[in-house]
């Protein structure tokens, strides 16, 4: 069993990679998650995200869909086709494009879930609960109430 296959130890912080070419959007996710026990890594584009994924192990990745050079869908495709420690890490698409065909394209690229911009704490936490499963959901909900 690899580190990414092992269940997350509730004693360690949730490791989150936030990928967005706009600093304000990265900051919005940071502000929402700062109340939780999270270890955040920020990346300003798909290339930086792939580099971060080579050297770090994440529990979840928030991925902007529209970015210059390497968009979120292609970044996710490359992540999924690799052999690194994050090949199976859940990826949540963060996008303003919510047409059914846009959502389908994200899922086809290997993303696990999507959230629409502008982000709200409730939507972000629901997405985390969805992709992380019941074990982490109880922990997230308990922290949200505290």
Give the CATH number, domain containing residue 71.
Answer: 3.40.50.2300
State the pTM of this model: 0.85
| Residue 45 near residue 37 (C-beta atoms within 8 A) | no
Report d(CA 145, CA 42) in Å as an integer: 26
Q: What is the mean pLDDT of residues 35-60?
A: 95
Structure tokens at 36: 């939780």
Domains held by the chain: number? 1
Name the DSSP letter for residue 74. Answer: H
Report d(CA 138, CA 84) in Å as an integer: 29
Task: Flag whether 1 is in a domain.
Answer: no
> Could you tell me the pLDDT band of residue 10, with boundaries at 50, 70 and 90?
low
Task: Flag whether 45 is in a domain.
Answer: yes
Greatest alpha-carbon span in the chain? 41
> Could you tell me the pLDDT band of residue 37, with boundaries at 50, 70 and 90?
confident
Q: Is the dihedral of CA 101, 48, 23, 36 positive or negative?
A: positive
The residue segments making up the domain with residue 40 are 14-145
Cβ neighbours of residue 97 under 8 Å, at least 6 residues apart?
A: 65, 66
> Could you tell me the pLDDT band of residue 2, with boundaries at 50, 70 and 90?
very low
Q: What is the mean pLDDT of residues 38-58?
A: 97
Structure tokens at 47: 């290339």
Report d(CA 144, CA 37) in Å as an integer: 11
Name the DSSP letter for residue 13. Answer: P
Task: Flag whether 117 is in a domain.
Answer: yes
């Amino acid at each position: 069993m690899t580190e990414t296959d092992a269940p997350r130890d509730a004693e360690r912080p949730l490791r989150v990679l936030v990928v967005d070419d706009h600093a304000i959007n990265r900051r919005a996710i940071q502000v929402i998650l700062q109340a939780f026990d999270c270890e955040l890594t920020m990346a300003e584009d798909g290339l930086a995200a792939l580099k971060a994924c080579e050297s770090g192990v994440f529990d979840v990745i928030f991925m902007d869909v529209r970015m210059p050079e390497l968009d979120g869908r292609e970044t996710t495709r490359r992540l999924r086709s690799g052999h690194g420690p994050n090949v199976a890490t859940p990826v949540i698409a963060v996008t303003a494009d919510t047409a059914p065909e846009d959502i389908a394209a994200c899922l086809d690229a290997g993303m696990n879930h999507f959230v629409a911009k502008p982000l709200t704490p409730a939507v972000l936490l629901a997405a985390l609960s969805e992709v992380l499963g019941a074990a982490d959901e109880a922990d997230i909900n308990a922290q949200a109430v505290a």
